[in-house]
């Protein structure tokens, strides 16, 4: 949300770190602007009489349709897109920073950051030298396919690039919204409970890659890696796991290798 005018409190804002500063400068200079407030209207002409109309449509069909469009866009440009989901504080942004740092000489990265508010994460990614677009969802608790569609218009990721989408930190809502990604990657840190997959099964069922992060802290916490994997496999028998610490770098090689292999296999 813009701190000056509060715009975005109701609507999604999509912007790059450079644009965010421009928006603040504009307000500082006393320049205002208008916001659209779209709302539905009843049709002008209506036939008479009550009736039941059969609809029989998936409630999320609009999102699914847009997700398929995004998927087509990724396929046409040979873009490898990952949707990273987790609770807040699992270390998603650090994982992104370290992954980009290790692979950016050989792979082209683009990032879409999703948060309710602030440019914090986009600024961190910008510091790695990789183009990034921040989506602020306002009150929204997840990214949806339309937001990604709009962000892609701004980001214009080049052919053959890797697109990392960091979803809003939330282990419930993003599970329902397909963005068009190749894989949903669920991240859980060992400072959380090893029973997370049992408590939030919908998200683990929707993902096929699971990263167990912050393993450098295992000696200090009661987190049973095998137990956690067992819970996760119950909801997603095909889950692929990576145990790593994006802070110390332990286990990161296998994750990087997987990304390289996926890209090589896709070509």
Instruction: Catalog residues that contact other proteins under the rule CB under 8 A.
Output: 39-43, 45-47, 49-63, 139-142, 144, 172-177, 201-202, 205, 233-235, 237
Structure tokens at 166: 């960091």
**Cβ 180 to other proteins shortest distance, Å:** 17
Please say which residue, 61 or 106, places its beta carbon nearer to other proteins: 61
**Cβ 44 to other proteins shortest distance, Å:** 9
**Cβ 119 to other proteins shortest distance, Å:** 23
**Cβ 43 to other proteins shortest distance, Å:** 6
Distance of CA 122 to the CA centre of its chain: 12
Contact 93, 123 (CB under 8 A): no
Contact 63, 174 (CB under 8 A): no
Spatial separation of the C-alpha atoms in residues 121 and 130, rounded to whole Å: 12
Please say which residue, 53 or 264, places its beta carbon nearer to other proteins: 53
Please say which residue, 62 or 156, places its beta carbon nearer to other proteins: 62
Please say which residue, 25 or 199, places its beta carbon nearer to other proteins: 199
Run of H or E residues at 235: helix 225-235
> Which among 186, 184, 173, 169 is positioned nearest to 229, based on CA atoms?
186
Spatial separation of the C-alpha atoms in residues 224 and 230, rounded to whole Å: 10
């Amino acid at each position: 949300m813009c701190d000056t005018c509060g715009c975005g409190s109701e609507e999604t804002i999509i912007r790059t770190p450079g644009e965010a500063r421009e928006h603040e400068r504009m307000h500082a200079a006393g320049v205002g602007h208008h916001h659209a407030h779209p709302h539905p209207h009843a049709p002008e002409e209506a036939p008479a009489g009550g009736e039941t109309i059969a609809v029989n449509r998936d409630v999320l069909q609009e999102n699914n349709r847009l997700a398929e469009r995004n998927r087509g866009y990724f396929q046409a440009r040979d873009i490898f897109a990952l949707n990273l989901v987790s609770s807040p504080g699992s270390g998603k942004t650090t994982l992104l920073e370290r992954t980009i740092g290790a692979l950016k000489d050989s792979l082209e990265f683009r990032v879409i950051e999703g948060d309710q508010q602030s440019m914090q994460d986009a600024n961190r990614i910008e510091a790695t030298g990789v183009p990034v677009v921040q989506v602020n969802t306002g009150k929204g608790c997840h990214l949806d396919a339309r937001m990604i569609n709009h962000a892609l218009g701004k980001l214009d990721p080049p052919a053959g690039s890797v697109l990392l989408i960091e979803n809003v930190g939330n282990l419930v809502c993003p599970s329902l919204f397909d963005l068009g990604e190749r894989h949903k990657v669920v991240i859980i840190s060992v400072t959380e409970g090893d029973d997370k997959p049992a408590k939030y099964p919908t998200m683990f069922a929707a993902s096929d890659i699971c990263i167990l992060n912050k393993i450098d802290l295992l000696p200090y916490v009661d987190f049973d890696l095998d137990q956690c994997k067992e819970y996760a496999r119950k909801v997603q028998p095909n889950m692929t796991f990576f145990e790593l610490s994006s802070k110390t770098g332990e286990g990161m090689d296998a994750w990087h290798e997987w990304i390289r292999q996926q890209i090589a296999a896709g070509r």
